[in-house]
Amino acid sequence: MNGVPTKFAGETEEKPEVARRAKWAGFAYNLKMQTPSAEQIRDAVDAVFADDGCRVRVGELRRENEESDALGTIERQIYTLALRYTPKCNSARKKYPSHTQPKVTITCGLIAQPPGPPTMAAKDAITCHVLDTTAGRPAKSIRVRLEGPRGSQPAKEFESITDDDGRIKVWLPYSSATASGEVPVYTLDDVLGQVEGSSTWTLRFDIEGYYGEGKTFFPEAVVVFRVQKGQHYHVPLLLSPYSYTTYRGS
């Protein structure tokens, strides 16, 4: 809704129902006919602009749309659902370990592994970077889970996948493959903003999913760290099949 009152006409398909809903919502004039004349359209325009209630309602809807971040919400839900259902592709991942995976996307049914984290925000307060020291290059397409704050009931979970540079800059709320109901749409900023003082968070890196089943001593690398409100934390991971090192980066 861009703040402009609307006129509706048409008596086929879903047009009458849409027109009634728009009229009920207070931002439109329903002409209630299939093909209005030029005079009838002009009269409808005059009626809409003479209706103070319609102008007020249009302004309210415009502000609601501007504040709702609808596209961002849609993007977060799509990406979260992709993360939720990509476990269905485990057999394909085992056949093609992520660090040797061809550029052609492996699709299971209608679900394909997402290429990397979304771009609706520049950087979250917690980021990470994974480097494959055996290959001397960034470790891309590693699934990483972020959990915290420790002690909260229930703790919030986020998930993302390292990009081509091995980095995660933005997190999406995690929804398990067996979860049902609404997909969560809270952000990391939302959760951190509710925490007073310091909090403890956990990063879980899916190492076996990266190297392949049975090809690493550590199926999962777990990093537990403390966060102070208002600060940014970057957690690099130097990775090989039989060791990993981490530290606080910048």
pLDDT digits (tens, 9 = 90+) for 58-68: 788 788 777 76
Looking at residues 167-189, what average pLDDT do you find? 74
Backbone angles phi, psi at 40, to 5 degrees: -65, -35
Q: Which of 109 and 163 is assigned the larger pLDDT? A: 163
Which of 47-51, 90-94, 122-126 is predicted with the least confidence, judged by mean pLDDT?
90-94
SS3 130: strand
Residue carrying the six token digits 């969560």: 184
What was the pLDDT predicted at 110? 38
Contact 124, 227 (CB under 8 A): no
Residue 109 clears pLDDT 50, i.e. is over it: no
Looking at residues 31-45, what average pLDDT do you find? 85
**Whole-angstrom distance, CA of residue 245 vs CA of residue 186:** 31
Q: Read off the pLDDT of residues 193-218 as tens digits, 9 standing for 90 and up.
A: 888 889 999 999 999 999 999 999 99
Other beta carbons within 10 Å of 146: 24
Close Cβ partners of 132 (under 8 Å, ≥ 6 residues apart): 99, 138, 139, 166, 239, 240
> What angle (nearest 5°) sits at the alpha carbon of residue 207, between those of residues 206 and 211?
130
**Topology of domain 126-176+184-246, CATH:** Immunoglobulin-like (2.60.40)
Q: Which of 174 and 211 is assigned the larger pLDDT? A: 211
Q: What ranges do the domains of the chain cover?
A: 6-67, 126-176+184-246
- Polymer length of the chain: 250
- At position 217, the amino acid (one-letter code) is F
Point out which residues pair with 131 in neighbouring strands.
Answer: 138, 238
Looking at residues 238-243, what average pLDDT do you find? 95
What was the pLDDT predicted at 248? 92
DSSP letter string, 157-198 = EEEEE--TTSEE---EE---TT--SSPP---HHHHHHT--SE
Contact 170, 118 (CB under 8 A): yes
Give the chain's mean pLDDT.
78
Q: Which of 3 and 46 is assigned the larger pLDDT? A: 46
Residue 240 clears pLDDT 70, i.e. is over it: yes
Identify the CA nearest to 45 among candidates 9, 15, 18: 9
Model confidence band, residue 99 (pLDDT cutoffs 50, 70, 90): very low
By DSSP bridging, strand 233-240 and strand 156-161 are: unpaired
Top mean-pLDDT range of 71-85, 89-103, 203-217: 203-217
pTM of the predicted model over 0.75: no
What was the pLDDT predicted at 100? 39
Contact 210, 231 (CB under 8 A): no
What was the pLDDT predicted at 221? 96
Q: Which of 69 and 43 is assigned the larger pLDDT? A: 43
* Cα dist from 139 to 25, 105, 164, 240, 248, whole Å: 51, 17, 8, 10, 18
Residue 113 clears pLDDT 70, i.e. is over it: no
Eight-state DSSP code of residue 26: T
Residue 242 clears pLDDT 90, i.e. is over it: yes
Burial level of 195, CB count in 10 A (0-12/13-18/19+)?
A: middle
Residue 2 clears pLDDT 90, i.e. is over it: no
- At position 242, the amino acid (one-letter code) is Y
Looking at residues 154-163, what average pLDDT do you find? 89
Residue carrying the six token digits 């006919």: 33
